[in-house]
Amino acid sequence: MAGSELTNTKSPRVKAAKRLTKRAFRDRDRSFLAEGPQAVREALALDGVVTELFTTAEAGTRHADLVATAVSAGVPVHRASGEVMAELAQTVTPQGILAVCRFVHVSLESAVTEQARLVAVLAHVRDPGNAGTVLRTADAAGADAVVFTDASVDPYNGKCVRASAGSLFHLPVVTGAPVAQAVDRLRGVGLRVFAADGAGTRTLDDVDLSGPAAWIFGNEAWGLPEEILGLADEVVRVPIYGGAESLNLATAAAVCLYASARSQRVRPLSG
C-alpha cells in the first residue's frame, strides 16, 4: 500500500475523495465513490475505471485479492484508519474498502443500438435506492442498457451505487437524456416503448411482449406525467390480484422487465 496509514480526516487526499459525496464535485471531477467489496470488485474488472483504492488494514487482509488486483493495475492503494474510512464511507457500518472511480456512463447512441432487445428508462425517478435497485434488476433480466433521464437521480449517488450491487459496471448506462430524445432513439432502433403506470388500460397479461421492448418507469409518488405517457406506444399496468393498492417502483420494474425477458426467451413447446 502507498505510504503510511492515513489517519488525518482533514488531509488533502481524504478531503478530495470526501467531496465526491456531493454531486457538484462528482460532475466537476467526473469521478465517484464505490463502497464495499462487491462494487470495488466489479469496478476493478473494467480497465482504467478505478483511480484510487482506500482500505483499512483489516479489510485489506480480508480482501487481499482486490488489493492485489489494484496494485497489478497500477492503482494507488491507501491504508486508512477506521476514522478516515468512516469519514469517506456513506454507510453506518463501513465495510472498510472503497474505490474512487471514473464515470462509466456512455452516450444514448452507443448504448441503444439496433441489437438492443430490452432497455429500462428511469423518468423522474428521485429515490437513489429505487434507481439502483432497478439498475440491478435490469442487469439481472439481461437488459441491454439503462437510461437515466435528465430529471432523474444521479446514478453516481452513493446510495444508488450501493443498491446497484455492482451492476452499474455491468451494462451501458446513459445519464441526462431528455425523455423525448430517448424515446425517439428507442423507437428508431426498433424497440416498442411501454410506459409502466397504474393508469394503463391494459395489463401485462394482455400485451405481447415477445419483441424488442423498452420500459419507462416513473416517479415513486406520482408515476408518469401525461406528456410522457403520450410518448409511449402503450401504457401498461401490473395487475393487482390481491388487496394491495399498488406496487413500489422497484418491484413493478422487476415484474415488467422479467415479463419482457421471459417472453423474449420462451419458445413454444413443439406438439
CATH of 12-102, one of 3.30.1330.30, 3.30.390.30, 3.40.50.150, 3.30.2420.10: 3.30.1330.30
Asked if pLDDT for residue 271 goes beyond 60, the answer is no
Q: d(Cα 79, Cα 98) in Å, to the nearest integer?
A: 11
Phi, psi (rounded to 5 degrees) for 137: -65, -40
- Give this prediction's pTM: 0.92
The CATH number of domain 108-265 is 3.40.1280.10 = yes
- Nearest Cα to 163, choosing from 193, 199, 122? 122
Could you give phi then psi for residue 51, rounded to 5 degrees?
Answer: -110, -20
Query: Which grid cell is 171?
Result: 451494462
Is the pLDDT at 1 greater than 60? The verdict is no
Confidence (pLDDT) at 266? 74
Domain spans, the chain: 12-102, 108-265
pLDDT tens, 173-211? 999 999 999 999 999 999 999 999 988 889 999 999 999
The strand order across the sheet containing 192-196 reads 173-177, 145-149, 118-122, 213-217, 192-196, 234-237, 202-203
Same fold? 12-102, 108-265: no
Q: Is the pLDDT of residue 76 over 70?
A: yes
